Amino acid sequence: MLFEIEIPTRKEFELIDITSMINEKVKEAKVKEGIAVIFTRHTTTALFINENESGLVADVKEFFEKLVPKGEGYHHDRIDNNAHSHLRSIILNPSIAIPIKDGRLLLGTWQSVIFAELDGPRRRKIFVKICKC
């Protein structure tokens, strides 16, 4: 089964915990054993899995702002002022595959699925594809 989830974002750089949204779709799909492929359709967003702790969320933002600073004379900025957002997105992931067991994502205790808005605010869409296997 395939689900589309809309994620309205509110900031330029925003990390949103989407674990519960995905678990809801896994339940709806009624797939007991399989995998979920989470996929973002945008070139200035990304997905990753880690702990949703406010200090760490701040660290992730600060780390990427330092690693790929905004407006460093990028070529792409002549067209669209967001080369840094694309580069940050390339370092992270557009898709993640997670095993499903007993109708639930097999995430560890501290793992959340995080949607990274890297050039917001915008209305974003991700896909959750659930395969029985």
> Which residues, in sequence order, are bridge partners of residue 98?
36
104 binds a copy of itself (CB under 8 A): no
Nearest-approach distance from CB 12 to a copy of itself, in angstroms: 18
Q: Any idea how long the chain is?
A: 133
Helices (H), ranges, 1-133: 19-29, 54-67, 83-91
103 binds a copy of itself (CB under 8 A): no
Beta carbons within 10 angstroms of residue 115's beta carbon: 23
Tell me, by CB under 8 A, how many residues bind a copy of itself: 57
Q: Which two tokens stand for residue 30?
A: 């009624």
Nearer to a copy of itself, 27 or 58 (CB): 58
The single-letter DSSP state of residue 96 is: E
Binding site for a copy of itself (CB under 8 A): 2, 33-35, 37, 39-43, 48-51, 53-56, 58-60, 63, 67-68, 74-79, 83, 86-87, 89-99, 101, 106-111, 125, 127, 129, 131-133
